[in-house]
Amino acid sequence: MTVLDMQSVDAEDEITHQQGYRLSIWKSTVVFFLATLPGGVGLLLIYWFPQYTLRLIGYKCPMSQATYLLLKDCDGNWCVEKIKHYVTESEEGNEDDDKHFSDVDDEMAYILPTCDTQQKVVYIEHRHLRYFYDAPSKQFAKLRHFYDKLTCLAIHQFIEGLSEADAVKTKQCYGPNSIDVPVKPYHVLFIEEVLHPFYIFQVLSVTFWMLDVYYYYAAAVLFISSLSLVISLLQTRKHMQQLHDMVTCSSKVSVLRDGKVLEDIPSEDLVPGDVLVIPKDGMSMPCDAALLAGNCVVNEAMLTGESLPVTKTPLPHDANLAYMPDDCKRHTLFNGTQVIQTRFFGSKKVLAVVVRTGFTTAKGSLVRSILFPKPLDSKMWKDIMKFVIFLAITAAFGFTYTIIILRAHNYDNVKETILRAFDVITIVVPPALPAALTVGTVYSLSRLKKQSIYCISPQRVSLCGKIKLACFDKTGTLTEDSLDFLGIRPCFDQRFTQLVAEPHKNLPMGELKYAMATCHSLTRIDGVLRGDPLELKMFEALKWELEEPGEEHTRFDSLVPVVVQAKSDDEFYPSLELGVLKQFSFSSELQRMSVLVKKLPSVDSKRIEVYVKGSPEKIQQLCIPQSVPPDFFTVLSKYTKKGCRVLAIAHRFLHIKAHKIDKITRDEVECDLMFLGLLIMQNKLKPESSPVITTLHSASIRTVMVTGDNLHTAISVARDCGMVEAGHRVIMMQATDSGDQGVLLDYTLVGEDMSCADAVMLSSDSYSSDYCNSSTNSTEISILLPSSQPYHLAVDGKSFALIMQTHKDIINRLMVCGTVFARMAPEQKAELVRYLQTLGYGVAMCGDGANDCGALKAAHAGISLSETEASVASPFTSKIPNISCVPKVIKEGRAALVTAFSIFKFMALYSLTEFITVAFLYSIESNLGDIQYLYIDLILILAFAFVMGFSGPYPTLIKKRPPGTLAGLNVLLSLIFHILLITATQLALWFYLKKQHWYEPLIPNDYDNIVCSENTLLFQCSIFQYIILAVILSTGPPYRNPLYTNYWFMLCLIVLVPACAYLVMAPEAWLKIFPPLMQLKQHPSILFRSSILLCVALNFLVAYAFEVYIIQSTWLAQILRWVRCKRQPRNKYKHVLKEVYEDSSWPPVVQAAIN
């Protein structure tokens, strides 16, 4: 499949709110003066919140007078854009100063601003797109495309090119044809990074620590932050440079201007309406262009990941067909694709009219989606922000507590009081939290890359952990790309003959054989026959030769560009040659292709033969009814039930002169056909498909097939791969528009051994009534499907569209019960994925990256099976061409999600533990020492935080998905319990210390209150509590590998546990030697020191037992469900499933005995 499906981004570019502002000099002066007073904090707020700044320094005004525009996009983001203008000239004046758009009704007119002589045209640039001021609506509107309101025939009228004057005007309007991704200088990146709230908080923290004489700790944090900043700058600059190099395309091109060929025009000067001359040796397309004359063979791998060449044909001369690049993909050359070959008749040129330039092209839209990714609605990150706010409130409480405690102790040093209070804030809100949360995702990406799975959207990795449904394309995804030729089933005298397995020997010379030889888009590239695998197998079965005379770029320099001929050993007419004059390429929407063929040599110069190949259902509709066998659907079902790929072939004769062929339309050709027969190909399952489907089902992940192939073939493949399990029923839903009676739904129960004709017919229900039996000449016998026997719904694209439009009450049931969606157009695939998401499903989509692009981009986890390392067509790209990548991505997603939760809980509990320790010490006017902070924050915390993510995913997918929220009662219960346990342990040891006969209370002084028994005790206790938290929060099975498999984590334990034990048990004389500057006052009693180890061991046992046997237990989940009064599921699809299970009358099962 090679159809390019670029998802429309028009809806994503809409502006939902606009307000014009004009700057006020006195307001600006006052605001900026006040902003500089409190240490420049106001300037930071101005930088962070430009929308509020604009409201402060400007005043609202009409759009025509505004200099800045405050806008809100569809994602809810506020932006400030400077209003720009340019001056243009017009021959006719217009007194209306605000009119900047022409209201031209003529469909031939393209959109150009019209205005008075020397009048300015007002516009803004937002996310690399231009929006022009529209006076009637008094709003800025996105510049319409050149081809809007133009038909295909109207596009052909531009074949002479633009005039120089129009080209200048158009360039002013649309801007240069360039996709310029600016590479920011290092100093600009440095300023942007430093002004990020995270680094500002780091700078403030280091400043307070330096003022509080924590030099070592402050220096260490400053060094690590600086190193992180440098690495971030280098990576950001590298990625920007890579993207810039990948998308930048500047070349010299030839265009028609004023009917003359202008050579060596910079591609940046191309404008919509220009006629581009495609050179004979091909080119890299610098824009989107509609092909007007000649054929092109194009490689679109850059956009789709599909490596097969695509043949582009000229745009039809159709006055009734509106031109849209997405609908006319076979006639449109897309920016960034490589034209391999060009072909035309005689000495004529290959011409294409430019329809989109710059960031409005298909490539530009993809680049913008990378630069401005759509924000993902991640509940996890929302919960994290809520918890950070909770930590901030706790910090405010600690700030107040510190001031009160120090004042209660008559601590008169105001500077020290303020420093200590702010020190609490840096303790409660850990500066390393943002970096630590990304660890799990980074490690998951690294592991995926080792498995040849690449990701261009890292934030989607954790979303993969909540996947509940996986959609799969069929051909090339579940089944092999290559097909085996099974045979041809000819039709003579309205009857099918026997299957012909060797057509080169046993198929008589005639129209059917000619169709097999010519009705394809195969071409020779570097001497090798290339094209669709199905067409290759079909042509190879004939053992004919394909010739394209002359050099590769001059193969259309003759009247007959492509010639096929029988080999000399053919029994019939060995010298027969057929010339292909014109080709209408395969369209996934039309589900067919056709060619115009002439015999060589020809007696009748006007006799043209037409051959059409496509889906049997479509071809049957186009054929003369008298030519179609009465058992057409019976024979078709026989092969589709076996999973075969079946195409129908038909033909007709035309009497037309050769020079008129170029202007004949597709509708004129593909009608009144004579049916010739069925082409049958075997499409084998990939060996990995069935095991993967079984794995997903065992994890309660629903699987759905979304394909453009025949419905019966899709059902057969679904059975073979296990998507429809043994013993399960399949019910086909078919919607038909009956006019006054509304849309009727026919249900057909398909058994494993039933053909379409022998299927059990179910009743019909119309939109106007609940269940109305269809009017058929039959006796109806009601039957009920056993409730214990699951069933699957199957529907085709046509019925899907009708149900979506009319049966709103049925569509939800179809979505939760549907397993096979066949004959689906590319946009229908994307629509299906989006609707499933609205029901609460986490959706994965796996396809071949061609006509699945829209669905791949819409899914939470879109995985393209492509040979390219990374494709912009989907978030994930697998170089392994089978669906084994799907469970791997889900496993890594679950591991990343659990890792993020574990690290967050660890960092939160670490900050609260340190806050508890410092709060106790503040009560006696003490604190932790500089080296003690250094040991805790850098050696213990950072080490464990960064090695926790090394645990890989558990090899088995289980049914239960990991929790997706931090606001769950079990998470909050866990946090509260550990905080209480930590507090109780430290408090118990505190009171136990005071009962020792050798204990000497601290006598505060104005210099150093750190070296004391209380400080040493709480430090020794807390360092073990950090290790305990790291161990019990390093979740292993069932989502990650056991802790002992994380060798880096085990190494940290082997090193740090003895080190901490040494700090507890070593005599004071040893501690003075190593480690120095720790500021510990060792306890003289070895029994007391042993009691500390015993107490923290008890802490570990209680914490571990609570986390494993209570928090992770099923009975706690049931209790919490009862406490929350959760009687109904939250996800909408569960409500629909419950509704379906309780409705025994649906689907309405009635067996029909045909008379």
* Residue 957 to residue 468: CA distance in whole angstroms: 12
Of 514, 511, 776, the C-alpha closest to 627 is 511
Pairs from 105-108 (Cβ < 8 Å, separation ≥ 24): 107/149, 107/150, 107/151, 107/154, 108/150, 108/154, 108/157
Residue with tokens 């850990």: 430
631 belongs to the catalytic site: no
Residue with tokens 């506020």: 78
Asked if 739 contacts 496 with a C-beta cutoff of 8 angstroms, the reply is no
Of 454, 485, 327, the C-alpha closest to 867 is 454
Task: Tell me the one-letter amino acid at 523.
Answer: T
Asked if 359 contacts 129 with a C-beta cutoff of 8 angstroms, the reply is yes
Residue 1028's Cβ-count burial label (10 Å; 0-12, 13-18, 19+) is: buried
Work out the number of other CB atoms within 10 angstroms of the CB of residue 817: 19
Give the three-class secondary structure for 277.
strand
* Residue 503 to residue 511: CA distance in whole angstroms: 13
Give the three-class secondary structure for 896.
helix
Residue 455: alpha-carbon gap to chain centroid: 10
* Residue 5 to residue 849: CA distance in whole angstroms: 9
**Active-site residue, selected from the candidate residues 13, 274, 383, 473:** 473
CA 871 to each of CA 42, 332, 552: distance values in angstroms, whole numbers, following the listed order: 43, 21, 29
Query: What six digits make up the tokens of 722?
Result: 């296990």
Spell out the residues 6+ positions from residue 497 whose beta carbon is closer than 8 angstroms to its own: 489, 490, 491
Residue 1003's Cβ-count burial label (10 Å; 0-12, 13-18, 19+) is: exposed
729-737 and 791-796: which strand pairing?
parallel
* Residue 3 to residue 310: CA distance in whole angstroms: 8
Asked if 856 contacts 470 with a C-beta cutoff of 8 angstroms, the reply is no
Asked if 524 contacts 544 with a C-beta cutoff of 8 angstroms, the reply is no
Work out the number of other CB atoms within 10 angstroms of the CB of residue 165: 11
Give the three-class secondary structure for 992.
helix
By residue count, the chain amounts to 1155
Residue 546: alpha-carbon gap to chain centroid: 41
Omega before 1004 within 30 of 0, i.e. cis: no
Work out the number of other CB atoms within 10 angstroms of the CB of residue 1057: 14
Asked if 1018 contacts 994 with a C-beta cutoff of 8 angstroms, the reply is no
Side-chain half-sphere exposure of 235, counting CA atoms within 13 A: 7
Of 735, 736, 761, 765, the C-alpha closest to 750 is 761
Work out the number of other CB atoms within 10 angstroms of the CB of residue 236: 15
Query: What six digits make up the tokens of 178?
Result: 């360039």
Residue 242: alpha-carbon gap to chain centroid: 20
* Residue 825 to residue 812: CA distance in whole angstroms: 20
Phi-psi region of 258 (alpha: psi -120 to 50; beta: other; left: phi over 0): left
Query: What six digits make up the tokens of 697?
Result: 């089902």
Side-chain half-sphere exposure of 1037, counting CA atoms within 13 A: 7
Of 654, 653, 623, 645, the C-alpha closest to 494 is 623
* Residue 1151 to residue 1144: CA distance in whole angstroms: 16
Active site residues per annotation: 473
